[in-house]
Amino acid sequence: MLLKILISGCIPITIAIYFQFKEPLDTTFGEKFGYFTGKLFFGFEYIFFPFILIWILTVPKELLFEPKFKTMWGALYPNIHLDSIGQRMYIHLFVIRRVLLLAIGLLAYGEPPL
């Protein structure tokens, strides 16, 4: 379930983390908890999640079809061909494209329009 959230919620999670770190508030418990949660999701989204994606590339093809493995990690490769490493990289390219889109938007935030 966490993997599905990290994949589909990449853009909103990154925007929330960016603004939480840009101007953190620490006056009440809720603001401190929000800052802690931002650090936690940053760790999941940009440290843990890339290692899982790289690990999926190195797993043997036969293991990907085992029911136990598929129930645990199947959210990373739903409805895609698994014949080659290039085909397994579909979700990687999807996530990289989203991160680049966010980087462009967040780096241009506050800049004068063209």
E strand or H helix at 18: helix 10-22
Q: Band of the pLDDT at 32, cuts 50, 70, 90?
A: confident
> Which distant-in-sequence residues (6+ apart) come within 8 Å of 42 by Cβ?
17, 21
E strand or H helix at 107: helix 90-107
Q: What's the distance, CA 59 to chain centroid?
A: 20
Q: What's the distance, CA 66 to chain centroid?
A: 24
- Please state the pTM of the whole predicted model: 0.63
φ/ψ region of 113 (left if φ > 0, alpha if ψ in -120 to 50, else beta) reads beta
Q: Flag whether pLDDT at 93 surpasses 80.
A: yes
pLDDT digit string, tens, across residues 34-86: 888 888 888 888 888 888 888 877 888 888 889 998 888 887 777 777 788 88
Q: Band of the pLDDT at 112, cuts 50, 70, 90?
A: low
| Residue found by looking up tokens 């940009």 in the block | 46
Are the C-beta atoms of 38 and 26 separated by less than 8 Å?
no
